[in-house]
């Protein structure tokens, strides 16, 4: 007989995190920062599962990395659950205007070389995440980032 996987709630705000702690096996954060992961862990407590998603981009040129990240973030900048979560994280309307400030983009999407990306993933783990889902962005929004997956795997497997 196959065991059912645990049910977790997608949760960004404190009330959903409380609900996740009370009524499910834990929470999934999306488009958050390591600081948001630490806050979520403090709300959830030690027991529940905490999974965090981290969008990443293997790109060393700051202008190009931020251009691609802004394309990825454009939809989320229109959704109140994400903008509210960023507000609570100190990344308010002024940071969210005009496609997002460099500070917001850099907080939400990790970019650079494999070690910089691994460092961000470790920051989520250090902040209390039990699991980090790495969403690898590709310069082509319809592309498959095979080369990036291959380049990132060794850095992400080191602990």
In this prediction, residue 131 carries a pLDDT of 97
For the domain made up of 9-157, give the CATH fold. TIM Barrel (3.20.20)
Specify the pLDDT at position 153. 95
| Average pLDDT over every residue of 69-85 | 97
Triad 37, 39, 45: Cα angle to 5°: 95
- Domain boundaries along the sequence of the chain: 9-157
Give a three-class secondary structure readout of 2-58.
CCCCCCCEECCCHHHHHHHHHHCCEEEECCCCHHHHHHHHHHHCCCCEEEEEEEEEE
Alpha-carbon distance of 130 to 78, in angstroms, equals 29
- Distance CA(70)–CA(29), nearest Å, equals 19
Q: Is pTM beyond 0.75 here?
A: yes
Q: Is the pLDDT at 1 greater than 80, yes or no? A: no
Confidence grade of residue 103 (pLDDT, cut at 50, 70, 90) = very high
Interval 25-60: pLDDT, tens: 999 999 999 999 999 999 999 999 999 999 999 999
């Amino acid at each position: 007989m196959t065991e059912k996987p645990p049910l977790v709630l997608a949760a960004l705000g404190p009330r959903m995190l409380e609900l996740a702690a009370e009524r499910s096996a834990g929470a999934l954060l999306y488009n958050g920062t390591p600081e948001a992961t630490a806050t979520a862990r403090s709300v959830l407590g030690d027991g529940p599962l905490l999974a965090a998603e981290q969008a990443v981009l293997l790109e060393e040129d700051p202008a190009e990395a931020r251009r691609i990240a802004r394309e990825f973030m454009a939809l989320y900048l229109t959704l109140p659950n994400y903008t509210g979560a960023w507000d609570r994280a100190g990344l308010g309307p002024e940071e969210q205007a005009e496609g997002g400030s460099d500070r917001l983009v850099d907080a939400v999407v990790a970019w650079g070389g494999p070690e910089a990306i691994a460092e961000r993933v470790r920051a989520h783990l250090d902040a209390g995440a039990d699991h980090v889902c790495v969403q690898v962005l590709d310069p082509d929004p319809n592309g498959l980032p095979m080369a990036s997956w291959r380049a990132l795997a060794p850095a992400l497997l080191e602990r």
